[in-house]
Amino acid sequence: MPSDTSPSVSNVRSSSVDEVIALLRSHGPLSQAELVRMTGLSKGTVNNVVKRLLKESVVSLRQKNRKEAWVTLGVGVDAIATVEIQAHRIKGTLFDFNQQARFDHCLEQGEGAESPSSPNGVVDLLRALCEMSGIAAAELACISVAIQASIDRASGAIVGWAASRLPGWRDIAVAEELEALLGRAVIVDNDANQAAYGEWMWGCGRGCEDFFYLLCAQGVGGGLVINGKVYRGGTGVAGEVGHMALDESGPVCFCGGRGCLHSLVSERAILAALSTSESPQLSLAAVIEGARADDAACRRVLFEAGLSLGRAVAHTARVIAPSMIALGGS
């Protein structure tokens, strides 16, 4: 039952404040009615907690409807932009919280053209998103960039063996370069690390002290969250299960290794395995459809990819022993 006591703003207990902040951090914007229901605190206590956090500029209020307002962490956050850097394209999303709108844009590599995956490409992408939304770049509260490569902790550049896939970012301190071009702070990290943290914060990893996320998309990567922080290791490449060697006689990987998980289960690897069969396919979706239609070759390559992925998960579980391992991607 909610308590009937309603302490003043100055006397509100720190435990109540911490509880409200934790809920806002894990669930996103909530109304005061939702905070009352989820905390078990009285309406008066929650109201005083919110007043205190507003005074300390920890939270802000956004109108939910004519009667209620959202309580949200952060002050003056009207819009944020996210960018995903891949080998042959960059994708961006702008979230307008005032209008409750989302804008998406993608720059693809055209036939015979240079890849847009470069610092200037990111600038062009963000300019397009701002034009679509009508929001000036200066109004963005945050710009977050996820790149399909590990970042060397010492130099801030992508690790050397990843440059063959992302030549537009070779020998470039990614965050430093983007901040110089955009004139503002930019958050940059490996895509698997960002995915892992997001899944730990808001997804199935919520509440885990140690959580490992295996990202399977165009490539394969991993992110490890320990005690609420992404673990990067001494050089910044912790979690790179995509380059775990599973077959010493397997295909050569772009990292220079042989039989890496990436070279066995990525979309390119699966399509390459089918290229010499009687059932060549142009996309992973087509392979899956072929398997559903009982195409033996398609079923075989998916079985072998699943077996390799399972071995990698088993090795990770033995070595790291996280509380939870989650798989995701596209």
Q: For the whole model, what pTM was predicted?
A: 0.80
Tell me what the mean pLDDT of segment 87-112 comes to. 84
pLDDT of residue 77: 64
* Among candidate residues 69, 75, 70, the one with its CA nearest the CA of residue 57: 75
Tell me what the mean pLDDT of segment 292-318 comes to. 95
**Interval 172-198: pLDDT, tens:** 999 999 999 999 899 999 999 999 999
Residue 2 pLDDT exceeds 50:
no
Tell me what the mean pLDDT of segment 196-221 comes to. 89
Tell me what the mean pLDDT of segment 235-254 comes to. 91
Handedness of CA 174, 193, 126, 98 (dihedral sign): negative
Residue 5 pLDDT exceeds 80:
no
Residue 219 pLDDT exceeds 90:
no
Lowest mean pLDDT among 75-89, 102-116, 192-206, 305-319: 102-116
pLDDT tier for residue 323 given thresholds of 50, 70 and 90: very high
Helix-strand-coil split of the chain, %, nearest 5: 40, 20, 40
Residue 243 pLDDT exceeds 90:
yes
Work out the mean pLDDT of the chain and round it to a whole number. 88
Residue 57 pLDDT exceeds 70:
yes
The answer to whether 98 touches 78, Cβ cutoff 8 Å, is yes
pLDDT of residue 22: 85
Tell me what the mean pLDDT of segment 191-215 comes to. 92
Domains and CATH numbers, the chain: 15-73 (1.10.10.10), 79-184 (3.30.420.40), 196-329 (3.30.420.40)
The answer to whether 129 touches 92, Cβ cutoff 8 Å, is yes
pLDDT of residue 76: 61
Residue 163 pLDDT exceeds 90:
no
The rounded percent of the chain whose pLDDT value lies above 90 is 51
Q: Which pairs count as long-range contacts for 240-245, CB under 8 Å and 24+ apart, including other chains?
A: 240/150, 241/214, 241/312, 241/316, 242/266, 244/312, 244/315, 244/316
Tell me what the mean pLDDT of segment 234-263 comes to. 91
CA–CA separation, 146 vs 23, rounded Å? 26
Tell me what the mean pLDDT of segment 55-76 comes to. 79
pLDDT of residue 123: 94
Residue 264 pLDDT exceeds 60:
yes
228: left (phi over 0), alpha (psi -120 to 50) or beta: left
Residue 11 pLDDT exceeds 90:
no
pLDDT tier for residue 112 given thresholds of 50, 70 and 90: low
pLDDT of residue 157: 93
Tell me what the mean pLDDT of segment 138-150 comes to. 91
pLDDT of residue 1: 44
Residue 272 pLDDT exceeds 80:
yes
